[in-house]
Amino acid sequence: MAVVRPFKGIRPRGDIVDKVASLPYDVMNREEAKEMAKRNKFSFLHVVRSEIDLDDSVNQYDELVYKTARKNLDNMIKEGILIQDEKPVFYIYRQIMDGRVQTGIVGCTSIDDYMNDIIKKHEFTRPEKEIDRIKNFDYCDANTAPIFLTYRKNDDINKIVNEWIKFHKPVYNFTSEDDITHIVWIIDDENTITKINKKFAEIDYLYIADGHHRSASSVKVGLERRKQNQNYTGNEEFNYFLSVIFPDEDLFIMDYNRVVKDLNGLSVEEFIKKVREKFEVEEYTDKGQYKPIQKHTFGMFLEGKWYKLTAKEGTYDENDPVDRLDVSILQRNLLNPILGIENPRTDNRIDFVGGIRGLVELERRVAKDMKIAFSMYPTTIDDLLSIADAGKVMPPKSTWFEPKLRSGLFVHRLSD
């Protein structure tokens, strides 16, 4: 039984929403964030990446960064850039990318559901990344970025959402600079809010699609607030965190590709010979790059040539939801034993390129600072749900969701 409840959202003024809404904090580096927010005082990057307002000599994890985030958030509220709804409501958030639509409910989910595994996970988190968002949320006294959740589709919830959209006007409707349309409706009718509460209460599990670090950080902030408030009732806002919840059928996962700096001391001929032990290797002679069109096939770009790799039978267990993932097959049969990438989370010889950048980006990286690239077939949403249900963990960088949730559209205050 999943708990999803409304909240009094802090959100942009309608006439400047397109200027406030920013890409998520974790899809760009400091330099890119600074450039994106350049000459835009409204950008929410001033809150989620507040180091852009400080000298480059200031470490991005310095306490001053988080104090600046709080100051910037307070100023945006004081200046009327952000406004707060007067009563708890749900929101509908629709994104349209290349004609494909995903529509979710924006509300708050329970830190107890997270701890009790009603909100299921599929990734490990890194402590330093958790600490960063813990400090951002704690200093700002707010969830400044939502968690991206999913659930197995529910026709009743779809009907409620579609009916509301049919008869109500959106409060926001804008297209961001990356050509993605963002539309938001407010659900402020008590009967409809109650229906949504009840329908989510009938759902067994929610799943983290994207935002494992943000959710873990939100939970730890909530637990710390409980320690500070021994008489807490469980109804306080710090017991909940900001989430956008989409049905699984709406979601789109792109390929998450790999580039590696060297061949681990091997010549090209030695390397390909070793690869042939576990993969069928074919030189790709058509124009352009090789993009895998089915599971267990991979593209490989080396010495200016593209190859198609096909995993041989016996190199994976089709009955194991983690073992059969293409990212697992490549890691276990090539990246680790041949290229020496034992831990892709920490090895600086490997980097990851989201599919949104295209396969030309793999060629560019090989020309610039890498030796070899691998194009992947995307992990599916069914893979993700199966692994989470089995209580297992995906390898790092297995999924790249598009479109990304914009930051700044919704803020959830923890002390309200």
Mean of the per-residue pLDDT values of the chain:
96
CB 23 within 8 A of CB 91: no
β-strand partners of 398: none
Rounded-to-integer distance, Cα 286 and Cα 280, Å: 18
Which of the following CATH numbers is that of domain 256-377: 1.10.8, 3.30.1760, 3.10.50, 3.40.50?
3.30.1760
CA 93/CA 149 separation, integer angstroms: 13
pLDDT in tens, 281-298: 999 999 999 999 999 999
Question: How much is the pLDDT for 28?
Answer: 87
Buried b (16+ CB within 10 A) or exposed e, 224-263: ebbeeeeeeeeeebbbbbbbbbbbbebbebbbbbbbbbeb
So what's the pLDDT on residue 97? Answer: 96
**Interatomic CA distance for residues 91 and 188, integer angstroms:** 8
For the chain, give every domain's residue range: 4-252+402-413, 256-377
Query: How does pLDDT run across 99-131, given as a tens digit for each residue?
Result: 999 999 999 999 999 999 999 999 888 888 899
Report the distance separating Cα 39 and Cα 34, nearest Å: 10
222 alpha carbon, distance to own chain's centre: 21
pLDDT of residue 349: 97
Q: Pick from 400, 357, 405, 354: which is nearest to 21 by CA?
A: 405
Residue stretches of the chain with pLDDT short of 50: none
